[in-house]
Structure 1
Amino acid sequence: MYQELLELFSEHLEKQDQLSKLTESQFLHQHGYSDVHSIDFIGRNKDANVTKLATYLKMTRGAASKIVKRLQAQGLIDVYMKEDNKKEKYYRLTKVGKRIFKEHDKRHQLWIKRDSQFIKQYSAIEIQYIKEFMKDYNQYLEEQIQIITKKD
């Protein structure tokens, strides 16, 4: 029973990946998950900095800083400072970064529209059970990530 459920999870992840590749532009394929979600965060938040980004991505400031350096090197974000604070660095999207931001948002909206149609077939009670399960499972996975990252 457990093995079958885990195999269904695996199949789900593979199909989501395949659908993403079929529905998103080639332009988005060349960027990793963390990079795209960092671009999304920076595009949605004024005065984004490494601390806010790390909190959003649930990673260390050091890991977020590596992403920022990579995005800057690729010309996807600009770094700026405020006149009244010369210590803190902030990030904004470049023209190319905005293109990725818009493409990701478009893909995300299509995903919500597509999958909402499927979910609507379930009752409110069934959806509540699924939500509780997913919350618990995501918390479990987060704990596993914390255990592994503390070892490194």
Structure 2
Amino acid sequence: MNKEEQVRMGFRDLFNKMSWLNKFKMEDRLRGYKSSEVHCIEYIEKNIDSNVTKLAESLYMTSGAISKVTKKLMKKGMIESYQKPDNKKEIYFRLTEQGKVIYQIHEELHKEFQERDKAVFEQITEEQFDSMLSFMEKYSRHLDAEIKKQGIDIKSE
């Protein structure tokens, strides 16, 4: 296996291990919520004037899928919709008090996972961080270009 294959496999393996390790606590503490719902809640809390388009772009989901998720979250009392007085066409979302509780649980879990993994990150030098970040940015830009080249429009699917 060449280094390129090792990097690809390494990323996939790391992602899968993190997902598997985090899954049990996430499912236990956030019982009754799907990953897409929790990430939707997270995005809405962290971004002012969240709407279907912004959520779809950020979460790499279709507008139709986001509409379903937001309807479920509204039904569960986690989010509410609102409109601006000067723009009655666009619908935005914000968290309810119940939604903020779920957001807070999710944040606590992320902090717990960061604390668990802290020992590894403390050993990384600034140069190593810079190198890894540079690679991820390049790879991300490449993937963005490929998405654009294929004419994939997340919003309209």
Per the TM superposition, whether the score is higher than 0.5 is: yes
Residue 95 of structure 2 is matched in structure 1 by 93
1:1-150 aligned at under 5 Å gives the runs 1=2, 2-28=4-30, 30-57=32-59, 61-82=63-84, 85-146=87-148, 147=150, 149-150=152-153
Q: Rate the CA distance shift 1:135–1:68 in 2: closer, same or farther, 3 A.
A: same
Q: Percent identity?
A: 35
1:75 and 1:96 in contact (8 A); partners too: yes
Q: Rate the CA distance shift 1:127–1:66 in 2: closer, same or farther, 3 A.
A: same
1:25 and 1:103 in contact (8 A); partners too: no
CA distance in 2 between counterparts of 1:19 and 1:35 reads 20
What runs of 5+ residues in structure 2 fail to find an aligned partner? Answer: none
More displaced, 135-144 or 119-128? Answer: 135-144
CA distance in 2 between counterparts of 1:145 and 1:30 reads 33
Greater RCO, 1 or 2 (C-alpha within 8 Å, sep 6+)? 2
Deviation at 1:122, TM superposition (A): 1.9
What runs of 5+ residues in structure 1 fail to find an aligned partner? Answer: none
Deviation at 1:85, TM superposition (A): 4.7
Deviations 1:17-67 (A, max 9, x none): 122124435242543333222101222344433344345445565553343
CA distance in 1 between counterparts of 2:88 and 2:124 reads 53
Deviation at 1:110, TM superposition (A): 2.2
Query: How many residues were matched structurally?
Result: 152
Give me the TM-score of the superposition, normalised by structure 1. 0.74
1:48 and 1:92 in contact (8 A); partners too: yes
CA distance in 2 between counterparts of 1:103 and 1:9 reads 27
